[in-house]
Structure 1
Amino acid sequence: MTEQMVDERIAGEPAGRQGRRGLIVGLCAVLLALLLVGHRAVPNVHGLGSLVDSATPLLGLGVPLLALAALLRRSRRALLAVLLPALVWAALYGGAWLPPASGAGTTSLRVASQNLRAGNPDPAATLGALTDAAPDLIGLQEVDDGEGVAAALGGDYPHRAAVSTVALWSRWPIREAHGVDTGLGWERALRAVVTTPQGDLAVYVVHLGSARAGHTATRDETLAALAATVRADDAPRLVVLGDLNTATTDRVFGPLTRLLGDAQADAGQGFGFTWPAELPVTRPDHVLYRGLTPTAAGVLHTPDSDHRAVTAGFRW
């Protein structure tokens, strides 16, 4: 075999493989676009559909990876195919990074919600970082050191309501409070009426049932129970603070999103991921509302908890 023949053989084989691999990259791009558009069509068997729904915003990470693969294969067709999921992702979620349309105006109410984490070694440190944001109302979940929390908050937040492991701390008087049954068999939610300078505000502090891979039935049932309770609540102004153990993109969240606005979506920027705290990839913690106008929303990285805190501002 001559040297020229060897060179031609070496040059020809990679070209064929590059073409095939470019085709694979293009097919993966089309499949990614279809999954972004049709994730709700994934059967919710053992919570699979909910998992895909919640992870859908992260699927955008596949776009630069596929683009890199197309460049490495020197495939223009594959690179053009990658534009499809890029455009779909941008249409679905790009707006989350734009300046919020409802963020203008004077803030008259600031709220925060924090899952403290059961067994938190230093709740005072967690709450200290939270109070630096100066919220008027603080909703807490997984409270197992009531005395420690009282020592950290009691001075600035003289009014408190607590049920089981959830609690509300307020700068303003709490006129009434009671537990809310979400179907867990024990109450892990409360409803309180806070007398603010602008009028009464109904506040829910909630920790819904846990969800694990393949086991979401309890979470789904508690979310449906909360939605039914909120639907029957005739308070004109209402806020829900809590760890709902799923993201707003989850199909089971629908009954709540039809009733309440999402402060992060309406007045924040980005996805506002909160869990796990060190490298958050999803948002189980929420501030939901009705009868108010959101002016701000954000996330705080507080120490000694496995969740980041969520905050929001409103005007009447």
Structure 2
Amino acid sequence: MPLHAQITDRGGLGSLVETFLPWFGLFIPVLLAGALWRRSAAAVVALLLPVVTWLSLFGGLLFDTSQPGGDLTVVSHNVNAENPDPAGTARDLAASGAELVALQEMTPQATGAYRRALAKAYPHHTVQGTVGLWSKLPLSDSRPVNVLRGNVGPLANTRRAEDLPVEPPRALRTTVATGRGPLVVYVAHLGSVRLMPRNGFWTDSRDVGAAALTEAVAAEPNERVVVLGDMNGTTDDRAFDGLISRLQSAQEVAGGGFGFSWPASFPMARIDQILVGGVEPKSSWVLPATDSDHLPVAAAISW
């Protein structure tokens, strides 16, 4: 657990371990049972090492560190391209009362349903490809952000570049006009990760996107930045070291528990992130399930 960064990432092994790192704590009761079965006092004492290690890594997440208040509430949700009821999902998100709602994995067919269902509560919005942001506050300078950076899909090594499908934008940047000054918001859906027979845990597309998003945030002139989206990775994953060095996870700073968001049927990892810089997270939580395979995540932030 403490040396996870030293595990090779060949075949994506390091990334796979880091995605489910908190779950390694489940081995502790097994080790305890073995020590008791052997009636070994030395084994019980030695068990303190993994216990202390796990608590040092994740113990802070066991306590509710949220605070009341907040100037702005944000919600992020991967709505799932196969969502059977996009309008219902949109109504559920609007009921949260959030000032900003970020959606990922929208299809061209469903985008209209999201627009119509959110129009009354959110008069301002921008959609760039498969991602969008709906806002109760005015938006400006909205534009796509390139997080694809070339042909990095699993077919890229076997097909000519001109034969590969051209994907729509999967990230955007916009400026929200608040009463406390401009807030820059990025909405992103990074590339998927897959278990593949030859490549192992394939993360190339996600890693390229993480690097591109980190580069964009690093070059951002505005002091106050919020990044919302499905990152297809946890904040423990080494692919996000550059991004986490600049931004804070709202869940880790002001949440209660791990805030797992995927899969919705049995959440095992928090791959849907709310990251902030220049503002203070006051609270962070997971919203009830919709018809997506992800759970929506929310946070209240303050100046």
TM-score by length of 1: 0.85
Deviations 1:184-217 (A, max 9, x none): 5542100011112222111111001111132111
> Aligned equivalents of 2:264 and 2:225: distance in 1?
27
| Equivalent in 183, 186, 189 of residue 201 of structure 1 | 183
Per-residue CA distance 1:35-59 (angstroms, 9 max, x = gap): x111111101011111111211110
CA contact (8 A) 1:107 1:295 kept: yes
Greater helix share, 1 or 2?
1
Listed one character per residue, the Cα deviations across residues 269-298 of structure 1 (whole Å, up to 9, x for unaligned) are: 111111111111111110011111111101
Spell out, residue by residue over 1:54-110, the C-alpha distance to the aligned partner (whole angstroms, 9 max, x if none): 21111011111221233334333332222221111011110112232xx44531100
Where does residue 27 of structure 1 map in the other structure? Answer: none
Query: Residue type matched to 1:247 in 2?
Result: T
Indicate whether 1:58 and 2:58 are aligned: no
Listed as ranges, the gaps of 5+ residues in structure 1 are 1-35
Tell me which of 59, 65, 69 is aligned to 2:34: 69
Aligned to 2:131: 166
Q: 1:142 aligns with which of 105, 108, 130?
A: 105
* Paired position in structure 2 for 1:314: 301
Note if 1:283 corresponds to 2:294.
no
How many angstroms apart in 1 are the aligned matches of 2:244 and 2:290? 30
Question: Which residue pairs with 1:299 in the alignment?
Answer: 286
Q: Can you give the 5+ residue segments of structure 2 that lack an aligned partner in the other structure?
A: 151-166
SS, match of residue 229 in structure 2: strand
Name the larger-Rg structure.
1
RCO higher in 1 or 2 (8 Å CA, sep ≥ 6)?
2
SS in 1 for 2:39: coil
Structure 1 Cα separation of the partners of residues 38 and 80 of structure 2 = 47
1:76-225 maps to which residues of 2 (within 5 A)?
Answer: 76-100=41-65, 103-104=66-67, 106-144=69-107, 145-185=110-150, 186=167, 187-213=169-195, 214=200, 215-225=202-212
The amino acid across from 1:58 in the alignment is: W
Q: Give how far 1:248 is off.
A: 0.3
1:193 aligned partner, one-letter code = T
Report the CA distance shift for 1:105/1:280 in structure 2 as closer, same or farther (over 3 A): closer
Secondary structure of the corresponding residue to residue 212 of structure 2: helix
Q: Distance in 2 between matches of 1:194 and 1:162?
A: 14
C-alpha deviation, 1:265, in angstroms:
0.7
How many residues are treated as equivalent by the alignment? 279
Contact 1:126 1:302 in 2 (8 A): no
Equivalent position SS for 2:292: coil
Distance in 1 (alpha carbons) for counterparts of 2:179 and 2:84? 36
User: SS of the residue aligned with 1:52?
Assistant: helix
Q: Distance in 1 between matches of 2:69 and 2:41?
A: 51
Q: Which range moved further: 192-201 or 291-300?
A: 192-201
Superposition CA RMSD, Å: 1.4
Please name the residue that 1:30 is paired with: none
Tell me how far apart the structure 2 counterparts of residues 38 and 173 of structure 1 sit (CA, whole Å). Answer: 46
**Residue 261 (structure 1) aligns with:** 248
